Structure 1
Amino acid sequence: MDDRRLTDWMEGYVRAWNSNDPADIQALFTEDAVYLTEPYAEPWQGRNAIVRGWLEIKDEPGQTTFRWEPLAVEGDLHLVQGRTEYRIDPPRSYRNLWAIRLDGDGRCFEFTEWWMKEPLPE
């Protein structure tokens, strides 16, 4: 499965995650994008709200490593599976499933994330 738009977008997402630069975050999303952070929570609606929400719960640069792989692409919908590892005390890891809808310019207009915390090793 080779979708350059997805690869470019994911590289931009990881760059924004590590920089927390509002311009990097804004570049990922359309003006009217919707970002769903967890079930039953109010989504962030619009590029400015996404930047605000992102920065309110930001991770510090260098705090995480993230690996991902595409699961499926159907039209504008891209499903991605990921694993996030936090280098904090105690370390923790998450499994991620993302549904990303990209427009023709490679910007996201709808992003939904699900994450599951892995148990700590005994």
Structure 2
Amino acid sequence: MQVFVLLFNADTDNPGIHTISVGTQNLVLMFAQQDDAERYAMMLEAQDFAVPTVEKIDQEEIEEFCQDAGYEAYLIPENFMPQNEFERLLLAPPEANREETDWSSEDKPEREESELSNGELDRIRRQLEGLL
């Protein structure tokens, strides 16, 4: 199945994928409908976020990427109607943007053992670039 995701810097050497932090989880939203993804991108832009590109990608590839990166993939189905507070949070873009992202930071301190190594991050970056 093909889904739509939001990518930042899609045509650069440093692409990133839109995630939402919910508690300690980072979620990647996958939209079943392109129109829904484009509306969400416009809401981000209206809140002065960077403007993402809506990209059509195979759902299995995104889910595999998320698993490798320690993210959770969340499908926003066609005609999605939130049933609880968690689902309502998903439809509202976050109020604030992370100043530092995993994809662009070059001056981070050394990572703890439980975090991804630089080699693993490079592999994940290449995998994300391959999705483009």
Q: Structure 2 length as normaliser, TM-score?
A: 0.29
**Between Structure 1 and Structure 2, which shows a larger proportion of strand residues?**
1
Structure with bigger RCO (C-alpha 8 Å, 6+ apart): 2
| Superposition TM-score, scaled by structure 1 size | 0.30
- Of Structure 1 and Structure 2, which has the larger fraction of its residues in helix? 2
